[in-house]
Structure 1
Amino acid sequence: MNKILLAFFLCITICLPVFGQAEAVEAHTVVILENKLQAVFGGVESGKFVNANIAVKSLPGLKTFTPYGSDGLSGARFEVGSGERPSIPCEEFYQYASNDNPKNGVSFSSNVPWDPSPRQVTKLKTNSKIYRSIVRKFLKKQGLRNPVVNITALFKVDLEGDGVDEVVILGERYVRFGPGTQKGDYSFLLVRKVINGKVKEILATGEFYKQAVRFGAPNRLEISSIVDLDGDGTLEIVIYGAYYEGVWAEAYKIKGGTSSKVLTTGCGV
């Protein structure tokens, strides 16, 4: 009996610090950067997303990052400095210094334990007659009677890892980009997904102008990257956006038949 008690107390004194260390390592933040913004996008702690204001605290100890572009392929590693807020007051927006910063995509800190790009992302031709017809019908559903179809990005990728590809469509049409909009202007991110044998269109984000608006502050969109941001096996779609007095980035997770925004950062007036 005494030997059992002795073993128990030894475990209390020896094992608990080890368990504590394991938890500390597990909770260590994986920092994610948005390269075009040259800013901290956010991070992941114990499989959960955290905002940039939390992730930036780990940046001084994580100097080396690996970039991933819109095609999911990684590039050459680069180093960054600490994150700082710009002179314009913007909440949760922290830019970093780097001489080798990639021009687009997102980057992960060197402590990322998962593969951010586990499946192939295939770029499709944006002048496809099939998808131009699909987009025309979609725009009419949004209330645009005679839409001018303009697909700016088109990708095929298995987002959820279930063996079935989704199609990611980015579309945009602005007669004159600025604070106002013209009738028929639009921008959107659309995912076409097969659910129970039927194709469902999932609108992640978008704006559609049935009439001209003098001050609409429209957004231009680009696909920054399609990668697994949090290590759950599902690829998120990261978009870079800009309007006439600001820039931003957002990440969307497609699960089942719904879309949810999981990360966002930006700065503007």
Structure 2
Amino acid sequence: MKAAARLGALFICASATASDLHPIVEVQSGYLFGAASDGKWLKAEESARSVKADTTYQIYSLTVKLGEATGSAPKSVDEPCPDTMEVTLSEKPEDGVIALAAPWNALPRKPHMADTTQQVYVDAVRDFLKTKGIEQPKVKIDNILRIDLDGDGEEEVLITATNYFRKDESVPMR
């Protein structure tokens, strides 16, 4: 989901017609993040008014395109989060992360999954958590992706880590 938020953060804000509107949906929950239109970003609530039923989405995992799905018109998930908009997708691949209604390739450079136990990254996460006041952090890295985000030939490293203090060590709502 963090990867999805980063993708959404690449865009900025405006209004749009359905033909040039490119909504972004988190696959497993169906949550509408918002939409891109003419290089600008629309929040979910604003873009939901223009997203139509039967919109075709490209479904992506963290590393590859998985296929296509058709989406419903967005609707509120109601209480306790009435501002959260949801799209029902016709297909929800288990590895699906992001659904994007756009003709372009959302993965022009291929990300590579890295070993989550690499000491250099465990230490980096531990050091970061210590700067946030956590004296003895328990580091649980979920994913490490290496990808050249800006096309400069240098791979950036994206790390996601969680610690929910559950006995079974599962992540809530996953």
Aligned to 2:121, what secondary structure does the other structure show? helix
Instruction: Give the aligned partner of residue 164 of structure 1.
Output: 154
Aligned pairs (5 A) from 1:1-269: 28-60=20-52, 62-71=54-63, 73-88=64-79, 90-103=81-94, 104-109=96-101, 112-176=102-166
1:106-135 alpha-carbon deviations (Å, 9 max, x no partner) = 1111xx243211111110001112222222
Q: List gaps (5 residues or longer) in structure 1.
A: 1-23, 178-219, 221-241, 248-269
Task: Report % sequence identity.
Answer: 25
Match of 2:8 in 1: none
Q: Could you tell me how far 1:44 is from its partner in structure 2?
A: 0.8
Determine which structure has more spread, i.e. the larger CA radius of gyration.
1
Q: CA deviation at 1:102?
A: 3.3
Structure with the bigger percentage of strand: 1
Instruction: Please tell me the residue identity of whatever aligns with 1:54.
Output: E
The DSSP-based 3-state class of the residue aligned with 1:90 is coil
How far apart, CA to CA, are the structure 2 residues paired with 1:82 and 1:164? 40
- Against the structure 1 CA distance between its residues 173 and 86, is the aligned structure 2 distance closer, same or farther, given a 3 Å change threshold? closer
- Please list every run of 5 or more consecutive structure 2 residues that lacks an aligned counterpart in the other structure: 1-15
The aligned length equals 155
CA contact (8 A) 2:56 2:69 kept: yes
* Distance across 2 between alignment mates of 1:134 and 1:97: 38
- TM-score where L is the length of structure 1: 0.51
What is the CA distance between 1:53 and its match in structure 2? 1.9
| 2:9 matched residue in structure 1 | none
C-alpha distance 79-131 of structure 1, shift in aligned 2 (>3 A): same
Residues 18 and 51 of structure 2 are in contact (CA less than 8 Å); yes or no, is this contact kept in structure 1?
A: no
Is the 8 Å Cα contact of residues 58 and 68 (structure 2) preserved in structure 1?
yes
Residue identity matched to 1:117:
L
Distance 1:42 1:159 in 2: 21
| Aligned-pair Cα RMSD in Å | 2.7
- Looking at structure 1, the residues matched to 18 and 30 of structure 2 have their Cα atoms a distance apart, in angstroms, of 27
| 1:78-112 Cα deviation digits (max 9, x unpaired) | 11222211232534322223342334411111xx2
**8 A Cα contact 1:26 1:45, kept in partner:** no
